[in-house]
A and B are shown apart, each in its own frame.
Chain A
């Protein structure tokens, strides 16, 4: 039953765009007044023109023209592969470690030590291991997204009230069904938090992974533009990554709500 649809009123929806709107206005003002010279911050209308050429132009028409869909496909594939790997490893390991002291002892020292290593330190090693290309990027994304997913799944599983599991046991629920029918739904709010953090960090590490060696992708675009001094392209790249990151977050949110009662019905 759907009784808890929150109807977003128009003014509230607008509120979501208030801060981006203010940023844009400020940008317009400093550009128009010449407060920020174009070589530091290009004018919005130039950025818009660059964006439109990058998104919709014909390939070869100008530098970067029409490259967007190739870059988008390449980057999204890498993010989804890396994020997917992180989910496949992070949720089961996190839940197990939250419930079983043995698994926790086995994993927690290692994982918390590795977690302290900044992602960028893995880059040179990943390049030695996987060479230049998609594998390095996917590895970095998976590694970075794993920690928030694992840690939140662990905390969520640990905090599930023993009474809920006892209630299941007395109603004849065995271990395996209890895991899927009680433990995971009860831990769902934490798991969702982990997934959203993981998705966000995936995009951050995607750019890191694409900074060297690959020819396509949004990270490669930004790096390439920096070498050529095309600051307008850098700005376009940043804005696009922000938009796509936000879209992925919303998409994840809806996909979870569509797939799981416990995600749909968070009080």
Chain B
């Protein structure tokens, strides 16, 4: 049974906005110790428009993190090009920010200092910086924890800090690598709600990696379904369910079932 996909804003957004990220024929091979080279990504091509929310959905080991690392500029592709606003995206920089799969906060800095870290050296007065930090602290609901150290806050709070420290830099595109995978179900739902709220307020462009079908169906305008060995885009699924989406909706449920069936068929 296919859900009926029609209507709405997501469709509208993606058709009208300019392309921010253009991934063209990207492949990645690793030289390994034992068994020669392995091809982890093969001919990946897709584009992301301004304000779009893209989910990359695939099973463990299909190269999702590798792709995100290439998009972020942490490693070069073996072949192909990544373009940001039409220009080849080179070294990593604040135009493409990552929320990592694991905890990557600076343990010796407080929540507030972590969020302020990327502002150093920007042409802003101290006052302006403080105001921005306070604004983002409150956006992610951590005002009361401003002076805590990462070791003193929960996993969910850590990911809120990770989110705030990159959102404050106003990146062209936000790359998120299974950011909520390590959280318990309830905290994960809170974080998904928070992310959607921030997305509608700040209208970021997001590429979000996940292996959770429900999460992709809840968040994405489009889902890129990845196949394994070598990693490649098997199918692009446009999700037109109206927002805010409810997990109790029949449409949502049907969508999850159909995506799950597609994954099983891989």
Residues of A at under 8 Å CB distance from B?
A: 1, 3-4, 161, 163-164, 166-167, 169-172, 181-182, 185-186, 188, 261-262, 265-267
CB distance from A176 to the nearest CB of B (A): 12
Q: Pick the contact of B97: A171, A181, A188, A266 (CB < 8 A).
A: A171
Which chain A positions have C-beta within 8 A of B98? 166-167, 170
**A contact patch SS:** helix
Q: Give me 18 A-to-B residue pairs in the complex whose CB atoms sit less than 8 angstroms apart, sorted by A's number.
A: A1-B110, A1-B147, A163-B104, A164-B106, A166-B72, A167-B98, A167-B104, A167-B106, A170-B93, A170-B98, A170-B166, A171-B94, A171-B97, A172-B93, A172-B121, A172-B169, A265-B149, A266-B108
A32 to B36, CA, bound (A): 77
Is B149 touching A170 in the complex (CB atoms < 8 A)?
Answer: no
Is A267 touching B166 in the complex (CB atoms < 8 A)?
Answer: no
Which chain B positions have C-beta within 8 A of A182? 106
A185-B108 contact, Cβ under 8 Å, with A265-B149, A267-B149:
yes
A3 to B153, CA, bound (A): 14
CB distance from B206 to the nearest CB of A (A): 15
Query: Total interface residues on B, using CB and 8 Å?
Result: 28
A166-B107 contact, Cβ under 8 Å, with A3-B147, A172-B121:
no
**B contact patch SS:** loop
CB closest chain-A residue, reference B168:
A171
Residues of B at under 8 Å CB distance from A?
A: 72-74, 91-94, 96-98, 100, 102, 104, 106-110, 117-118, 120-121, 147, 149, 151, 165-166, 169
Which chain A positions have C-beta within 8 A of B165? 171
A265-B91 contact, Cβ under 8 Å, with A170-B98, A171-B97:
no
Is B100 touching A262 in the complex (CB atoms < 8 A)?
Answer: no
Is A166 touching B74 in the complex (CB atoms < 8 A)?
Answer: yes
A163 to B106, CA, bound (A): 10
Tell me how many residue pairs across A and B have CB atoms closer than 8 Å.
Answer: 65
Is A170 touching B147 in the complex (CB atoms < 8 A)?
Answer: no
Which chain A positions have C-beta within 8 A of B107? 186, 265, 267
A166 to B117, CA, bound (A): 14
Closest 5 CB pairs of A and B: A171-B118, A262-B108, A267-B151, A1-B147, A169-B92
A266 to B97, CA, bound (A): 27
A161-B108 contact, Cβ under 8 Å, with A171-B94, A171-B117, A171-B166:
no
A98 to B102, CA, bound (A): 23
CB closest chain-B residue, reference A169:
B92
Candidate in B72, B92, B118, B165 with the most chain A CB atoms within 10 angstroms: B92
Q: Pick the contact of B100: A3, A167, A181, A185 (CB < 8 A).
A: A167
Is A261 touching B92 in the complex (CB atoms < 8 A)?
Answer: no
CB closest chain-B residue, reference A172:
B94
A265-B92 contact, Cβ under 8 Å, with A163-B100, A171-B118, A171-B165:
no
A170-B106 contact, Cβ under 8 Å, with A3-B147, A267-B149:
no
Which chain A positions have C-beta within 8 A of B120? 181
